[in-house]
Copies of this chain bind each other. A is one copy, B any other.
Amino acid sequence: MTSSTNMRLRLPLLCIILEVILIILFGALVEYNDDTHAKLWNANKSHSATRDDYENEFYYRYPSFQDVHVMIFVGFGFLMTFLQRYGFSSVGFNFLIAAFSLQWATLMQGFFHGMHHGKIHVGVTSMINADFCTGSVLISFGAVLGKTSPVQLLVMAIFEVTLFAVNEFILLSMLGANDAGGSMTIHTFGAYFGLMVTRVLYRPNLDKSKHRNSSVYHSDLFAMIGTIYLWMFWPSFNSAITNYGDPQHRTALNTYYSLAACTLATFAFSALVNPEGKLDMVHIQNAALAGGVAVGTAGEMMLTPFGSMIVGFLAGTISVLGYKYLTPVLESKLKIQDTCGIHNLHGMPGVLGAVVGAVTSALASPGVYGDGLQRVFADAETGKWNPQSRGGFQAISLAVTLGMALFGGLVTGFILKLPIYGAPPDTHCFEDGLYWEVPGEEEGHELNEVATPNEMEKLNS
């Protein structure tokens, strides 16, 4: 194979062309919304006697946005630094494709979710939604981690963001689905899209790089930074775009309990499946988060803390078991090489979350929700609300998502297979050195040399 991994022209060209296109489209299509526009906000204010600056949506959404932002850039970025020699790429490419995706997502989501006189309106809510869409791309990144060039990743992001917006439009606008925390739109979609991409990009000789496809002591600690941030801020993630008031508050609370229960399940099963009862960092880093994924749909509903804990416990359990027993089978039988095990963290827990959401929707009743019913189920306002059919639509939404993700991943995978992107050879996967200037030598030697105790003593005398 003559393909070079040199990025000197490919990466700059793609980045610059993409950014120029983005800038042109933003210039033509994007406007400040009513809460960010100097003229519109102040005009609206004077129309309403009681409305004041404190009621700008900024004050009620921005703290959630910042937590989501941390999850996208620190959470995902550092979670993937567990590989011994792929830390620069994990956090660096995560940074690059997230910075691109959030811009592209603003356009795609704006286009599908309703233009205003031909313009896309932006503000803190569009920022959250763009970050959500970006999260989906980063999930897929986890499946192909270490095996793709940054150019491939950007191309994947172009397609995935687009299809994400289409799928989101079908679910939220056409099927009227509930999915505030994105069990379906973000996690299920991102996972199965990524799994299909990595299936198409199957590398039969990947074991030539297997000595690098593992962690070292400190890389696992860096990864725990990502894990802990994802875990802590997941309540903010699931509640970031719910309705104000009780739904947002309740979503955060449900997610908090689900994650706590999930963590105990993760530690329990991680020790149980190991012959010596030793805990596995891979499980702790990943499976402990499955509880957040699994209440992404039902979190805003009256799931109760009790229900949230059961869901979280189940999610942690299936996630650990997936890492232990399913991932090896997926690789050997189905040729799915899933570097981060996204099937266990986002795939199965995402489907679980969709099912829990469908069931919880179907069980909803005015007796439980009172006047709050229509705050959660939008069609309750129209009077056409029927819990069983709502549950049915939720189930259909899951099916649509799986179909869109698998089909989209298939097509995108074949596009990414073209030998023009500078993908790493099988012998050099999971290796920063291909795309990064890596500092020459490790400290060991240097350290003892810099100053002898004698010299030090003199200096300090």
Contact = CB atoms under 8 A, between A and B. Distances in A.
Q: State the majority secondary structure of interface residues on A.
A: helix
B212 A16 contact: no
A116 interface: no
Contact of A30 (B16, B22, B272, B305): B305
Interface string A370-392: 11110110000000000000000
Interface stretch (A94-102, A135-143, A411-419): A94-102
A73 B260 CA distance: 12
A32 B253 contact: yes
Interface in A436-454: 436-439, 441-444, 446-448, 450-451
22 contacts: A4-B460, A11-B268, A12-B271, A16-B268, A19-B264, A26-B306, A32-B250, A39-B368, A39-B369, A42-B371, A46-B371, A53-B243, A53-B245, A58-B252, A63-B63, A85-B447, A102-B260, A123-B253, A215-B439, A225-B225, A279-B436, A281-B436
Interface residues of A, number: 160
Contacts of A103: 257, 260-261, 309
A58 B6 contact: no
Interface string A110-126: 00000000000011100
A95 B54 CA distance: 34
B274 A4 contact: no
A269 B12 contact: yes
Interface stretch (A226-234, A337-345, A355-363, A402-410): A226-234
A263 interface: yes
A247 interface: yes
A448 to B, nearest CB: 8
A92 B279 contact: yes
Contacts of A277: 6-11, 460
B56 A245 contact: yes
Contacts of A448: 441
A249 interface: yes
A67 interface: yes
Contacts of A456: 276, 433-434
Interface string A415-440: 00000000011001001011111110
A442 B439 contact: no
Contacts of A331: none
Given A16-B268, A58-B248, A123-B253, A85 B450 contact: yes
